[in-house]
Amino acid sequence: MDMPFFNVDPKLLTLSEQAEVIAAEAFSEITRITEYNQQKVLSAFIRHHVSESHFVPTTGYGYGDRGRDALDEILADIMGAEDALIRHSIVSGTHAIAIALFAILRPGDTLLAATGAPYDTLEQVIGHKVPSAGSLAEYDVGYTQVELTEAGTPDLLAIQSALEADQSVKMVHIQRSRGYNTRPSLTIQWIERIIKAVRAIRKDVIVFVDNCYGEFVEEREPNEVGADLIAGSLIKNPGGGIAENGGYLCGTKECIEQCAYRMTTPGLGREVGASLGHTRSLYMGLFQAPHVVGEALKTAVYAAALFSSLGYEVSPAVNEKRADIIQTVMLREQEALIAFCQGMQKGAPVDAFVVPEPWDMPGYTSQVIMAAGAFTMGASIELSADAPLREPFAAYMQGGLNYHSGKVGVLLAAQSMLEKGCFTL
Ligand SMILES: *Cc1c(COP(=O)(O)O)cnc(C)c1O
């Protein structure tokens, strides 16, 4: 197909067409899962009698906000959980996860990270590496970590020994997505295996799953395989590119009750929290989410096909089972990484004219370069690439509100690398 509106090398265009042929089988699997999840979401909306009256904003304390309360029930239903909290006032995924940790853990308890180091922004929430104001460490909550095996899979025996060795473990942390690591993402089947292994040793620990980037990628969600509590961000998958901010928690009645008291205050819990007119976009975003996740997955698969044909190592591979929307492309050198991000930025609907540069992002330990030209600031369900400037100079790209524009961003990333001489055709 010609691209009259963009300047792309004809040889690259040929490779792009071949990439779509290579991706065809993976695309049809994505379509199948999207249909399943879209029907799951639509039927939940219908079952809960969603109507225009749910979108009416509340102000002040926000008592009796029907739309807010109904959306909690709808999300719980979709995720296969007993209860849920979905709020624009949870400012981000990190905030949602911090609510979960502080809600469950008490002084003297230990948090066990079962799938290696948690996502970068949680380091200061846990406070185990360096002192951090307000962290779990300041409340005398302990922390231990079980590394993944060399193959990047969970080490079930090591998780079990860690549980046996330390009776103070109250909560097990599992991260579904790879985050900024080159490990594979965890499939729901792996999450199920970890939970079974944990339960075989301790029935009473709370299993928490950081569900960021994983929602609607598979047919099942972590609560359906026994997770007690999960959390995620609304400027990623479940916000469908429409929610302007927010986070959510889903889990057992008891866990969600604790979370509600941590989210606002003991006593008040979920009874307060005015929706201020955000409800409609949370509903609409959740409704759109399965479709948008499908489009983002297609964009990722296309990138895997294109960049592997250009000789780069990619993860996941084109036909590998996916557990999140992230696509890693190992660009091997700093210049290539920067060219990739700068090229992708050129295909953004917003801020295409700006040139991204590496910077010291709060909460992250190495410099990061990002391509992000989004309608919602920082929204990574929109096409974006994040890359910490460290070995192996991997670009973590994700998102794409629709495949057609996502494809352009990926292609312009490759074009920019071609122009900088990172590869020849
Ligand atoms: C993005 C992300 C977070 C944090 O979410 P924010 O909304 O950026 O705060 C936590 N864990 C994982 C795995 C993530 O991908």
What pLDDT is attached to residue 28?
A: 98
How many Å lie between the centroid of ligand 1 and the Cα of residue 37?
22
Letter string b/e over residues 233-268, b meaning 16 or more CB atoms within 10 A of that residue's CB: bbbbbbbbbbbbbbbbbbbbeebbbbbbbbbbeeee
How many Å lie between the centroid of ligand 1 and the Cα of residue 391?
21
How many Å lie between the centroid of ligand 1 and the Cα of residue 21?
33
Q: pLDDT tier at 363 (50, 70, 90 boundaries)?
A: low
Summarize pLDDT for 71-115 with one digit per residue, the tens: 999 999 999 999 999 999 999 999 999 999 999 999 999 999 999
**Cα–Cα distance for residue pair 251/190, rounded to 1 Å:** 19
How many Å lie between the centroid of ligand 1 and the Cα of residue 122?
9
How many Å lie between the centroid of ligand 1 and the Cα of residue 47?
31
Longest dimension (CA), the chain: 65
Mean pLDDT computed over 124-131:
94
Q: pLDDT tier at 380 (50, 70, 90 boundaries)?
A: very high
How many Å lie between the centroid of ligand 1 and the Cα of residue 351?
23
**Cα–Cα distance for residue pair 89/234, rounded to 1 Å:** 11
Mutate to test the pocket of ligand 1, among 233, 248, 327, 380 (most ligand atoms within 8 A of CB): 233
> Do the two domains 10-39+290-419 and 49-286 of this chain adopt the same fold?
no
Q: Determine which residue's CA is closest to atom 7 belonging to ligand 1.
A: 93
Q: Does domain 10-39+290-419 sit in CATH 3.90.1150.60?
A: yes
Sequence length of the chain is 425
Looking from the CA of 149 toward its CB, the CA atoms found within 13 Å total: 9
Residues with CB under 6 A from ligand 1: 92-94, 97, 119, 121, 175, 177, 179, 210, 212-213, 233, 235
Mutate to test the pocket of ligand 1, among 86, 91, 92, 119 (most ligand atoms within 8 A of CB): 119
**Cα–Cα distance for residue pair 349/180, rounded to 1 Å:** 25
Q: Is the pTM of this model over 0.95?
A: yes
Summarize pLDDT for 212-231 with one digit per residue, the tens: 999 999 999 999 999 999 99
Summarize pLDDT for 9-30 with one digit per residue, the tens: 999 999 999 999 999 999 999 9
Q: Determine which residue's CA is closest to atom 2 belonging to ligand 1.
A: 212
Domain boundaries, the chain: 10-39+290-419, 49-286
Tell me: pLDDT of 365 over 80.
no
Tally of CB atoms within 10 A around 131: 10
How many Å lie between the centroid of ligand 1 and the Cα of residue 93?
5
What pLDDT is attached to residue 179?
A: 79
Q: Determine which residue's CA is closest to atom 12 belonging to ligand 1.
A: 212
Summarize pLDDT for 381-423 with one digit per residue, the tens: 999 998 889 888 999 999 999 999 999 999 999 999 999 999 9
Among 185, 194, 231, 208, which residue's Cα sits nearest to residue 324?
A: 185
Atom number in ligand 1 closest to CA 177: 13
Give the sheet arrangement for strand 206-210, strand by strand: 83-87, 247-251, 229-233, 206-210, 169-175, 110-113, 142-145
How many Å lie between the centroid of ligand 1 and the Cα of residue 213?
8
Tell me: pLDDT of 332 over 70.
yes
CATH number of 49-286: 3.40.640.10
Atom number in ligand 1 closest to CA 247: 7
DSSP state, residue 13:
H
Angle between helices 188-201 and 156-165 (to 10 degrees): 30
